[in-house]
Amino acid sequence: MSSAPTSAVPKDETIFVEAKDLPLYCPGPKAPLWSMHPRIYIEVVKTGKAVCQYCGASYQLKEGEKVHGH
């Protein structure tokens, strides 16, 4: 399983993910303690992008990524 980035990302930046990063969840296991919130899975497959409901982190599939089995 993969996850969100290992450090905090400013809200105005997009975190680009690849198919190998799925299933995607936020916050990641190496996120700093101050940025922790309940873990939620982020659904980026249907629309290609999504925002974490807790911290507002914006995730987007990299252009050209092929997701199989989702």
Distance of CA 17 to the CA centre of its chain: 7
Q: pTM, whole model, 2 decimals? A: 0.75
Taking residues 8-32, report their average pLDDT. 83
Confidence of residue 1 (pLDDT cuts 50, 70, 90): very low
For residue 3, the model assigns a pLDDT of: 52
CA separation for the pair 12, 2 (Å, rounded): 22
pLDDT digits (tens, 9 = 90+) for 26-57: 997 778 888 899 999 999 999 999 999 999 99
Amino acid at 56: G
Check residue 21 and report its DSSP letter: G
With helix as H, strand as E and coil as C, how does 27-70 read? CCCCCCHHHCCCCEEECCCCCCEEECCCCCCEEEECCCCCCCCC
**Residue 20 three-state SS:** helix
The full set of domain ranges for the chain reads 14-61
